[in-house]
Amino acid sequence: MSKKIRILHPPKSEFVSVYRTPSRKSVPIFIMMKFKFLDINSIPRFPPVGSKSFFAASCDFHVFSYHIETEVHQFRIRDECSVFQAELLCIAQAVNWIRTNENLSSNFLICSDSLSSLYALNCITSPNRLIVKTQTNLNFLHGRGVKVFFSFVRGHIGIYGNERADWLAKEATKLIDFIPVTVRKSFYKSVFKKHVISQWNNLHQISHNAKSTKEFFPSIHGRLKAVHFVPNFRVTQFLTGHGNFKAYLKRFNLSRTDLCSCSSGEIQDVNHLILSCPKFTPARCLLVSTLKKNNFAWPPSFSTLFQNKTCFASFCEFIDGIFPHTI
């Protein structure tokens, strides 16, 4: 029977003290880092990639010794990785470099514009392997008398080192070799979910059934976005066209005629009841007013009735008002 592997954290309650402004005068060596997710949709490529969004993920850090840039390290990571992973990887690589070069100084300063990643390093229960690896290295350096300070630097405010790191990270997206990083489970779940919804939508589009329902929900994506939609007995009848309407009842010989009892002489179906039946003009006025307030013209496409919570609530109120009088 396999046992669950536990990640052991070094026994230290606080690894990172974050300073809002970098104190570089007292620290001879400081490291500026940056991660980058570059949208490569705007880059001309052949063949075209369609409508999918593509992002090239990279990070870098560069070392300053007495305000002189001495080293540059650039890394390319898999595009499926998250922003948080890129930030943590950059910090982990910088701390690993310090461990390798601890003989250069007893004090090091790491500057980053990712405050969330810096604070995450203090979590002693995190299962994230990058965090644990960084904590282990920091604990080792602390035992050797090497102090590593962290400073939060706001991005894009004209600080030379930060702007330089931003440019280097952008250049790192052109690298071919990737740093091995485990892709998070949520990415695979997201890809699988999008694939299932896409297949579901394709089946919905090619199906010859549910013609009435498709007028309200032309795509599965629209249905999923309508989180305010809560079906009930009356709404479902209008949504499917299978309800207490003469056009439907006539198909099963439950009504002698499919014509509405109003003076229009039209067939009593969902379209007639919602849009034009003169018997329900007073009840329809509130629905028309609500749609116009939400910048929808009258007569609307039925999908707009489910566009937002306000329109849907007004539509439900309209249905509740006319339903007892449809026959």
37 in the same domain as 175: yes
Q: Which domain holds residue 213?
A: 208-325
Give the pLDDT of residue 171: 66
Is there a domain that residue 284 lies in? yes
Is there a domain that residue 190 lies in? no
Give the pLDDT of residue 35: 55
315 in the same domain as 257: yes
148 in the same domain as 65: yes
Is there a domain that residue 226 lies in? yes
Q: How far apart are CA 270 and CA 239, in angstroms?
A: 8
Sign, CA dihedral 67-99-77-14, equals negative
**166, 182, 198 — which closes off a domain?**
182
Residue type, 279: K
CATH number for the domain including 61?
Answer: 3.30.420.10
Give the pLDDT of residue 245: 93
Give the pLDDT of residue 32: 65
What is the number of domains present in the chain? Answer: 2
Buried b (16+ CB within 10 A) or exposed e, 268-304: bbbbbbbeebebbeebbeebbebbeeeebeeebebbb
Q: How far apart are CA 27 and CA 122, in angstroms?
A: 22
174 in the same domain as 113: yes
Give the pLDDT of residue 7: 46
Contact 72, 62 (CB under 8 A): yes
270 in the same domain as 162: no
Is there a domain that residue 198 lies in? no
Q: How far apart are CA 153 and CA 162, in angstroms?
A: 8
| β-strand partners of 286 | none
32 in the same domain as 137: yes
Give the pLDDT of residue 185: 82
Per residue of the chain (327 residues), give pLDDT as tens.
444 444 444 545 455 666 554 455 556 676 766 655 444 344 333 222 222 334 456 666 778 787 777 887 877 777 777 778 888 888 898 899 999 988 888 888 888 878 888 888 888 888 888 899 999 999 999 889 888 888 887 765 555 555 666 666 666 666 666 677 777 788 889 889 999 999 999 999 999 999 999 999 999 999 999 999 999 999 999 999 999 999 999 999 999 999 999 988 999 999 999 999 999 999 999 999 999 999 999 999 999 999 899 999 999 999 999 998 887
Contact 124, 9 (CB under 8 A): yes
268 in the same domain as 164: no
212 in the same domain as 149: no
Cα 10-35-164 angle, rounded to 5 deg = 120
Is there a domain that residue 195 lies in? no
Give the pLDDT of residue 2: 44
